[in-house]
């Protein structure tokens, strides 16, 4: 059984204002963290630690890309990911045995 909110708009559903505000704030925080205006004073994981030093920047970049995709700016194609195409058709190959 589908959620009644999703049925109204052809399966896409409406996003609430509260969730949009939360996603926008998270995107702004991750962008500020990546631009690093404090010149390295504010670091969650220090960059000089081997293997784990850049995990916080990678997480902030992933969060920013997800937030942009939430608002319709899907830049995942720049990294080789193909965008999802939902035309309602399921492509299946059947072998006769």
Q: Percent of the chain, pLDDT > 90?
A: 14
How many other CB atoms are there within 10 angstroms of residue 17's CB atom?
8
Q: For the residues 76-87, what does the mean pLDDT come to?
A: 65
Q: For the residues 22-28, what does the mean pLDDT come to?
A: 93
pLDDT tens-digit readout, 39-69: 666 677 777 777 787 788 888 899 999 999 8
Instruction: Indicate left, alpha or beta for 45 from its phi (over 0: left) and psi (-120 to 50: alpha).
Output: beta
Domain range summary for the chain, segments of one domain joined by +: 17-75
Residue 25 predicted with pLDDT over 90: yes
Distance CA 59, CA 54 (A): 9
């Amino acid at each position: 059984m589908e959620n009644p909110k999703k049925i109204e708009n052809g399966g896409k559903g409406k996003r609430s204002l509260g969730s949009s505000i939360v996603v926008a704030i998270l995107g702004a925080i991750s962008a500020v963290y990546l631009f690093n205006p404090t010149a390295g004073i504010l670091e969650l994981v220090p960059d000089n630690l081997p293997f784990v030093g850049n995990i916080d920047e990678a997480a902030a970049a992933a969060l920013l890309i997800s937030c942009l995709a939430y608002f319709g700016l899907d830049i995942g194609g720049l990294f080789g990911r193909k965008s999802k195409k939902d035309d309602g058709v399921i492509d299946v190959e059947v072998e006769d045995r």
